[in-house]
């Protein structure tokens, strides 16, 4: 599925193109893979719960 915002309902994988994914999503996936994520306590301290 394309996230390009063209309004075209055709899935990009149907026409042989790679799907477009925002760069931040790819970075987040890499962080999860490398277990470089915040703990619940880290998040609470930033949000000051």
Q: For residue 18, count other CB atoms closer than 10 A to its CB.
A: 8
For residues 2-19, average pLDDT = 59
Query: What's the pLDDT band for 1 if we cut at 50, 70, 90?
Result: very low
- What are the backbone angles phi and psi of residue 47, rounded to the nearest 5°? -85, -5
Q: Give the residue with greater pLDDT, 27 vs 2.
A: 27
Predicted confidence (pLDDT) at residue 37 exceeds the cutoff of 90: yes
Task: Map tokens 């760069």 to a residue.
Answer: 23
Q: Does the pTM of the predicted model rise above 0.75?
A: no
């Amino acid at each position: 599925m394309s996230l390009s915002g063209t309004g075209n309902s055709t899935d990009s994988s149907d026409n042989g193109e790679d799907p477009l994914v925002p760069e931040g999503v790819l970075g987040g996936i890499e962080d999860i893979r490398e277990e470089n994520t915040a703990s619940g306590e880290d998040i609470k301290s930033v949000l000051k719960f």
